[in-house]
Amino acid sequence: MKKQSKMILKTTLAATLGLAIAGSANATVTFGDGGASLQGILNDITLAPIGNVSSTNVNTDQIQQDEKWQISGSGGSFSQLIIELAGNANTNTVGIYDASDPSKQVTLFSALDGPGAQKLLSFGNDGSVNINFADTGVDFADNAFGYFLDTGTNIFYSNTDLNADGVDHMVAYRGAGTDTIGLPSTLPGIWSTNEYIMAWEDQYNGGDTDYNDFVLMTESVNPIPEPSMLALLGIGLIGFMARRYEKNC
């Protein structure tokens, strides 16, 4: 009986670890144009090692954990708007929201900002959110946050579960540390591994799903992985089986 219980416990552990790894990832977005438009944008900013050829493939290199983020130890995150090809360009705003309370929001880029616009996001010890060193008057619970796109009609969140249409409106890519890129307002440099490009689709129900409507780069942030509900269920099963095993020992 002891051997059987021990074997069941090991099997449950292995299954739960698999669920945690597989279940914690978000679904990959599918592009309406096969990714041609967004790939073209990444190619256009790539200068080396091969000019106008990005090492990032928009279909296969998507970050699977892109719903919640934290600023790294530097305490600040610099963002730059790369391009906006949206019919809603005159109303679109992009910002961050408190991961524990999405109603708390701070705008990073407004409709007046064009390609090359730059913003510095930082958090005070009291949770105060600062943009370009100015206190916005909004306090977050901590420095865990998500990104949002507000079209003036709809608000879309990096957390797909918060979107009224149930569609993933943001896709993100991490730098490989190999490409030299040139952004609108800065000298060329390496797209490093602590920098992410985030691309948005601004149409309800996904529209044309080309994810080129609002594209920005941000640095010194890290995605926060979250276990799936199945993984959490498995963890509960482990606790149950562990108690059963202890009682049978």
pLDDT digits (tens, 9 = 90+) for 11-27: 444 444 444 444 445 67
pLDDT surpasses 70 at 236: no
229 vs 126, residue with greater confidence: 126
25 vs 82, residue with greater confidence: 82
Q: State the pTM of this model.
A: 0.83
1 vs 177, residue with greater confidence: 177
pLDDT at 215: 98
Sorted by where each begins, the domain ranges of the chain are 1-24+227-249, 27-225
pLDDT at 35: 98
Mean pLDDT of the chain: 87
Instruction: List 75's β-bridge partners, or say none.
Output: none
The three-state DSSP-derived secondary structure of the chain is CHHHHHHHHHHHHHHHHHHHHHHCCCCCCCCCCCCHHHHHHHHHHEEECCCCCCCCCCCCCCCCCCCCEEECCCCEEEEEEEECCCCCCCCCEEEEEECCEEEEEEEEECCCCCCCCEEEEEECCCCEEEECCEEEEEECCCCEEEEEEECCCCEEECCHHHCCCCCCCEEEEECCCCCEECCCCCCCEECCCCEEEEEECCCHHHCCCCCCCEEEEEECEEECCCCCHHHHHHHHHHHHHHHHHHHHC
- Please tell me the distance from the alpha carbon of residue 184 to that of residue 104, in angstroms, as a whole number: 30
- Please tell me the distance from the alpha carbon of residue 37 to that of residue 23, in angstroms, as a whole number: 30
pLDDT band at 37, cuts 50/70/90?
Answer: very high
pLDDT at 189: 98
pLDDT at 230: 39
Q: What is the mean pLDDT of residues 200-216?
A: 97
pLDDT single digits (tens) 111-159: 999 999 999 999 999 999 999 999 999 999 999 999 999 999 999 999 9
Q: What is the mean pLDDT of residues 181-198?
A: 97
